[in-house]
Amino acid sequence: MLGSRIRKKLRSGQPVLNVGVTFHSPLVVEWLGLSDIDTVYLDAEHGSINESQCEEMVRAAFLVDKPALVRVPHNDPHTILRYLDIGTSGIIAPHVANAEQVRQAVDAAKYAPMGHRSFGPARFFSRRPGQSVQDYIRQANEETLVIGLFEDIAALEHLDEMTQTPGLDALVIGTSDLSFSMGYTGQSGHPEVQKVVDKVIAACHKAGIATGLPASSVEQARDHIARGAQIISLSFANLVIESAQQFVTAVRSG
């Protein structure tokens, strides 16, 4: 659990650079840990990885001192519990469209008195020597990040209530699904979609929480930061493809 260092960066206004992995590979997580990225996020919603595979990748992240976030397949207490019990530093809950769904994610991710997460002793046994149950619970609540995915235009009318929900650290905007929900299929850069993105960023700033956006290039990441987003996510696939293309172009043009 290393989420508090990410929360500290967000609260100080610094960007958090995040690389997403959709397939099972602890080795890839170790490689990413050799870089200066801030977090690795494991996509268990759209990716092929399950809980057991995520656990191996979370352990790899811990060995290289990187927080690992999991995009859970469903925003329900049992699913969130199982992905947190493997030692994840935080969860990304998909398709949160109102304050009640945000509260549900927070409630499932936090132990009492902040929530109603069930206590499983397996991870507790690997705690620091001499740490009590009470101290472990306190640390887990402090270290666990809760991030919501804003992906549906229907959520716009509930935006202020969502951003003001206690325990929510950030809203990440899923621009692809947002464009679908607005009738601009596959047009995440459409001006109307981007107007909604700006509204989400503004609401998050007002509430004192962070906003996140996906990027496919260095230029797009810089643009996102300039407009106020803090969590910038790049897929491992994009990272490899762009790096490989830059290598080929540089060699052939020389």
pLDDT single digits (tens) 39-91: 999 999 999 999 999 999 999 999 999 999 999 999 999 999 999 999 999 99
pLDDT value of position 127: 56
What whole-number percentage of the chain has pLDDT above 90?
84
Q: Are 69 and 88 in contact (CB under 8 A)?
A: yes
pLDDT, residue 121, reads 62
User: What band does 126 get if pLDDT is binned at 50, 70 and 90?
Assistant: low
How far apart are the C-alpha atoms of 53 and 99, rounded to whole Å? 31
Q: What are phi and psi of 196, to 5 degrees?
A: -65, -40
C-alpha distances out from residue 12 to 9, 48, 208, Å: 5, 35, 11
Among the listed residues 61, 114, 112, 58, the one whose alpha carbon sits nearest the alpha carbon of residue 87: 58
Q: Give me the mean pLDDT over the 198-207 stretch.
A: 97
- Residue 1 is predicted with a pLDDT of 61
Does position 96 have pLDDT exceeding 90, yes or no? yes
Looking at residue 122, its pLDDT comes to 63
Q: Provide the mean pLDDT of the chain.
A: 93
pLDDT digits (tens, 9 = 90+) for 77-95: 999 999 999 999 999 999 9
* CB 66, CB 36: distance < 8 Å: no
The residues, any chain, with a CB within 8 Å of residue 66's CB and separated by 6 or more, are 2, 29, 32, 33, 37, 38, 39, 40
Look at residue 254 and tell me whether its pLDDT is greater than 80.
Answer: no
**pLDDT confidence band for 130 (50 / 70 / 90):** confident
The mean pLDDT value for 183-191 works out to 95
Q: What is the mean pLDDT of residues 142-154?
A: 96
CA nearest to 119, candidates 130, 105, 108, 106: 108
Cα 198 to Cα 80: distance, rounded to the nearest angstrom:
29
Q: How far apart are CA 75 and CA 224, in angstroms?
A: 26
pLDDT band at 135 (very low <50, low <70, confident <90, very high): confident
* Confidence at residue 3, expressed as pLDDT on a 0 to 100 scale: 85
Residue 144 has a CB neighbour count (10 Å cut-off) of 26
d(CA 205, CA 78) in angstroms, rounded, equals 31
DSSP 128-165: -TT--HHHHHHHHHHH-EEEEEE--GGGGGGHHHHHTS
Query: Taking a C-beta distance cutoff of 8 angstroms, is the pair 223, 184 a contact?
Result: no
Going by pLDDT thresholds of 50, 70 and 90, the confidence category of residue 114 is very high
Phi, psi of 21 (to 5 degrees): -120, 130
More confident residue, 206 or 3: 206
Instruction: Please give the pLDDT value at position 132.
Output: 84
